[in-house]
Structure 1
Amino acid sequence: MVFRFPEGMARIVDYRAKWDEGSFAYKNTERSFASPPQDRTLKEEISRLARLCWEIFGLKGYARVDFRTDQDGRPWVLEVNANPCLSPDGGFAAALKEAGIPFFEAVRRILPDALPPKEPSR
């Protein structure tokens, strides 16, 4: 995320930043997938921790792990969302687009984990 906030204002994506189009936070919070090369190690650690959360919590289908970094750049797991927003205009859809995965293709891949197993034919 890119925050164009004044000094001292918390850089947190809250309700207003996500949904209140008339708010200062919404207008000054930009979703971005770009990161400088020096963040490569941090991205690798976040990916490792997200996969570890996936395994520990036995997640299926899709999930979102929220992180915050401290002043030393260490990532901390804030929360694990086993059923995050799946709307076509949400963050998950934006991440799919960035990865080159069509939204409805992702939903098609996720659905089998949400449905009960099929009974064998007799």
Structure 2
Amino acid sequence: MIFVAIAVALVGIPALIILALRQWGQQDARTETRLHQSQTHTASYDVPAGQDPAPLRTALNHASFSTVLGHGDAGRSLIVECDEADRARVRNILEQELPRHAIPVHFQDESV
């Protein structure tokens, strides 16, 4: 009886982990597809060389913004789903997370 429980645990737990990772990957793919559609309002920010984009994405995700990483003119870019009215809020969040020398934040569609 105990061997059956161990066998179920050895097979069941990895299967649950695989299913959870699969769901997460599918959700990330749907978000990426949505953010690359032309009708989706986005702001794209070129992440400075040497800057880890993970804290930027985390801060934006905590503020309920969807993000994906892309490739911009200067390397990696952070694509943020946001309406025109939310761009100032996104800019503020990025500026709070970036080192002082990387400020001010300019989006790809803005002139510097």
TM-score range, shorter chain: 0.3 to 0.5
TM-score for both structures, normalised by structure 1: 0.30
By percentage of residues, which structure has more helix? 2
Point out which structure has higher relative CO (alpha carbons under 8 A, 6+ apart): 2
Structure having the higher Rg: 2
